[in-house]
């Protein structure tokens, strides 16, 4: 699109509006920090460019012609739009998109609430969220393909900095008709290690392997579902025992479709961490999201 040849630059429009507002080319020139001859020459140049007379000049000062008043109205709109654009450009670094990657547990059960709260601070922020296992999340953040990651259980992640944003506990669950559901004493860690479980190959498996390391780790899984929804469906159907995040089965436990089986002397708790590239401090929406999470953790429970 060609630039309109009869539209003067912003400085000329600002000068015209100052002359009309102050009633004098001299006063307008003083306000804008230019000489009166330079201001007068610029007004004449603008009149030639537009092909209309803009000011009526007299010893008492200057006032707009009929055409000048109309041009002043348009000029004000142009300057207002320019100021709006300038403010928008200044804010662009704060409006950049936030790329998040998270493990399924965090993505499904914690992040939705956090992102709704973040929207009050960054209503126009472009936020993308992808879900993957903790190992993949860490790798993508390390490669710079995500600004912020949320992982389960991991403690020492090379090339990444992080902070704990929550905690979770793995639970062993079975359908109400499963024999383990009727056991008063639960199961031992050794027994759990020997049983084939419904188990996803993600952070859950890593935490369970560490907890059962003295018993040789976990047995070969009975089923390795592709999603938490598939895992819960298999457990509810009675396929076998499953190990899953307590957050993920809250509804099934409350409704009685699944039953928790206690495991003797086994700590299956795990921290949930936010991670970002080492040596860089999160900024913009990422920084505010972390601050929001910290505030929510420190708030006393109702």
pLDDT in tens, 4-17: 678 888 889 999 99
Q: Is pLDDT at 159 greater than 90 in this prediction?
A: no
Give pLDDT, residue 186. Answer: 85
Q: What is the pLDDT of residue 266?
A: 87
Residue 301 is predicted with a pLDDT of 47
Q: Answer yes or no: is pLDDT of 215 > 70.
A: yes
**Three-class SS of the chain:** CCCCCCCCCHHHHHHHHHHHHHCCHHHHHHHHCCCHHHHHHHHHHHHHHHCCCCEEEECCEEEECHHHHHHHHHHHHHHHHHHHHHHHHHHHHHCCCEEEEECHHHHHHCHHHHHHHHCCCCCCCCEEEEECCHHHHHHHHHCCCCCEEEEECCCCCCCEEEEEEEEEEEEEEEECCCHHHHCCCCECHHHHHHCCCECCCCHHHHHHHHHCHHHCCCCCCCECCCCHHHHHHHHHCCCCCEEEECHHHHHHHHCCCEEEECECCCCCEEEEEEEEECCCCCCHHHHHHHHHHHHHHHCCCC
Q: How confident is the model at residue 238 (pLDDT cuts 50, 70, 90)?
A: very high
Average pLDDT of the residues in 255-263? 92
Q: What is residue 31's predicted lDDT score, i.e. its pLDDT?
A: 86
Mean of the pLDDT values across residues 133-158? 86
Residue 156 above 70 pLDDT? Answer: no
Distances from the Cα of 111 to the Cαs of 73, 102, 171, 222, 294, in angstroms?
49, 9, 21, 30, 13
Q: State the Cα–Cα distance between residues 132 and 149, nearest whole angstrom.
A: 10
1-49: pLDDT as tens digits:
455 678 888 889 999 999 999 999 999 988 888 899 998 999 999 999 9
Q: At the top level of CATH, which class does the domain 10-92 belong to? A: mainly alpha
CATH architecture of 167-269: 3-Layer(aba) Sandwich (3.40)
pTM of the model: 0.60
Q: Does residue 209 surpass a pLDDT of 60?
A: yes
Candidate from 14-18, 98-102, 277-281 with smallest mean pLDDT: 277-281
Question: Do the bridges between strand 258-261 and strand 127-131 make them parallel or antiparallel, or are there none, so unpaired?
Answer: unpaired
Where does the chain hold its CATH 3.40.190.10 domain(s)?
A: 98-161+274-298, 167-269
Per cent of the chain over pLDDT 70 is: 92
Closest residue by Cα to residue 168 from 254, 108, 216, 231: 108
With CA atoms as reference, report the closest residue to 53 among 39, 64, 61, 42: 64
Question: Between these two residues, 89 and 216, which has the higher pLDDT value?
Answer: 216
- For 107, residues 6+ apart whose C-beta sits below 8 A from its C-beta are 129, 131, 150
CATH 1.10.10.10 residue ranges of the chain are 10-92
The pLDDT, as a whole number, for residue 63 is 93
CATH number for the domain running over 98-161+274-298? 3.40.190.10
Are 144 and 251 spatial neighbours (Cβ–Cβ below 8 Å)? no
- Mean pLDDT over the full length of the chain: 87
């Amino acid at each position: 699109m060609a630039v309109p040849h009869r539209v003067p630059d912003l400085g000329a429009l600002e000068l015209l509006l100052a002359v009309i507002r102050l009633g004098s080319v001299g006063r307008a020139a003083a306000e804008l920090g230019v000489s009166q001859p330079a201001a007068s020459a610029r007004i004449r140049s603008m009149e030639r460019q537009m092909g209309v007379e803009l000011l009526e000049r007299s010893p008492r000062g200057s006032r707009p012609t009929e055409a000048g008043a109309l041009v002043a109205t348009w000029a004000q709109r142009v300057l207002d739009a320019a100021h709006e654009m300038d403010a928008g450009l200044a804010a662009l670094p704060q409006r950049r998109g936030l790329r998040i990657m998270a493990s399924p547990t965090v993505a499904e059960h914690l992040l939705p609430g956090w992102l709704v709260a973040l929207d009050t601070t960054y209503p126009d922020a472009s936020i993308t969220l992808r879900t993957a296992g903790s190992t993949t999340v860490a790798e993508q953040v390390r490669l710079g393909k995500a600004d912020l990651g949320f992982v389960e259980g991991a403690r020492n992640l090379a090339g990444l900095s992080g902070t704990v944003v929550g905690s979770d506990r793995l639970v062993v669950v079975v359908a109400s008709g499963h024999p383990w559901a009727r056991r008063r004493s639960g199961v031992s860690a050794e027994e759990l290690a020997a049983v084939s479980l419904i188990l996803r190959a993600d952070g859950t498996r890593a935490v369970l392997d560490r907890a059962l390391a003295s018993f040789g780790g976990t047995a070969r899984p009975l089923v390795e579902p592709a999603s938490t929804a598939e895992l819960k469906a298999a457990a509810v159907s009675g396929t076998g025992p499953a190990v899953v995040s307590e957050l993920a089965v809250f509804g099934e436990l409350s409704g009685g479709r699944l039953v928790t089986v206690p495991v003797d002397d086994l700590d299956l708790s795990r921290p949930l961490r936010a991670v970002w590239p080492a040596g860089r401090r999160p900024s913009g929406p990422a920084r505010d999201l972390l601050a929001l999470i910290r505030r929510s953790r420190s708030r006393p429970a109702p």
